[in-house]
């Protein structure tokens, strides 16, 4: 789970978030999504795929992060979402209030990026299990999440790290159609040059690596007018 975790950071300090995104991506291979306001954070959590963990600043330009924490814990969809509060308010009373409202951990600014990484890893272990598999299998396709390597029938596939992450997004939602916007949203936090080419071009290259016949794909299926789906069956059938 941790190897391909998605972290949403709700914080209006864009320079801090950019630094954290680079660090978490480089050190842990995680995907980082950013919402600079309370409203945008709420929208990101209401729509699309939930992140694996939330880093929430308490002092936001349009509201208090404590209010968002309270709301998230009251909703079934986000009740168990790991939340780490991040704020310049380091008084014990503030930490107590945050934890009582449902935060899992609390880190005061300024802080070391490696401490944030360690705390997030601990949250993910508790939330998703310390023995979560490092290999994701969908039919005859295997994704080694730690090594960023894809294999079909045990044969290594030649794809880039970015394309591996794109394939992992589809694999985590095998059997479900994902729109291009949903795929792009899940991949935020990667270097911007990864977006120079369209999703369609990357899908074409992934197909060339994993399909028996890329001209008649049976693993990554196109749903016209919508997006893409990774078939769940061992032979490429939707199953």
Residue-wise pLDDT tens digits, 127-151: 765 444 467 889 889 998 877 889 9
pTM: 0.55
| pLDDT (0 to 100) of residue 221 | 95
Specify the domain boundaries for CATH 3.40.50.2300 within the chain: 2-128
pLDDT classification of 188: cutoffs 50, 70, 90: low
* Tokens linked to 17: 């978030």
CATH class of 2-128: alpha beta
pLDDT classification of 185: cutoffs 50, 70, 90: confident
pLDDT classification of 96: cutoffs 50, 70, 90: confident
| pLDDT (0 to 100) of residue 131 | 44
Residue-wise pLDDT tens digits, 30-53: 989 999 999 999 999 988 778 999
Q: What is the dihedral of CA 35, 100, 67, 60, to 10 degrees?
A: -50
Mean pLDDT of 77-102: 78
Specify the domain boundaries for CATH 1.10.10.10 within the chain: 135-230
Share of the chain above pLDDT 90, in %: 43
Asked: is 135-230 a CATH 1.10.10.10 domain? The reply is yes
More confident site: 230 or 94: 230
């Amino acid at each position: 789970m941790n190897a391909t975790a998605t972290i949403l950071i709700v914080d209006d300090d864009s320079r801090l978030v950019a630094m954290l995104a680079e660090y978490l991506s480089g050190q842990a291979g995680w995907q980082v999504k950013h919402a600079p306001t309370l409203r945008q954070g709420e929208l990101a959590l209401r729509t699309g795929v939930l992140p694996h963990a939330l880093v929430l600043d308490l002092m936001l330009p349009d509201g208090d992060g404590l209010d968002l924490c309270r709301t998230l814990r009251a909703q079934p969809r986000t009740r168990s979402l790991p939340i780490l509060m991040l704020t310049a308010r380091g008084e014990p009373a503030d930490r107590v209030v945050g934890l009582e409202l449902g935060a899992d951990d609390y880190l005061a600014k300024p802080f070391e990026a490696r401490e944030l990484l360690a705390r997030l890893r601990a949250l993910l272990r508790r939330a998703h299990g310390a023995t979560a598999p490092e290999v994701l299998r969908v039919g005859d396709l295997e994704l080694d999440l730690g090594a960023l390597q894809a294999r079909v029938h045990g044969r290594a596939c030649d794809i880039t790290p970015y394309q591996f992450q794109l394939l992992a997004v589809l694999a985590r939602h095998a059997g479900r159609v994902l729109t291009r916007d949903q795929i792009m949203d899940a991949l935020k936090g990667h270097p911007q040059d990864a977006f120079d080419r369209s999703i369609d071009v990357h899908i074409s290259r992934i197909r060339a690596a994993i399909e028996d016949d890329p001209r008649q794909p049976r693993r990554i299926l196109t749903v016209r007018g919508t997006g893409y789906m990774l078939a769940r069956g061992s032979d490429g059938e939707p199953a």
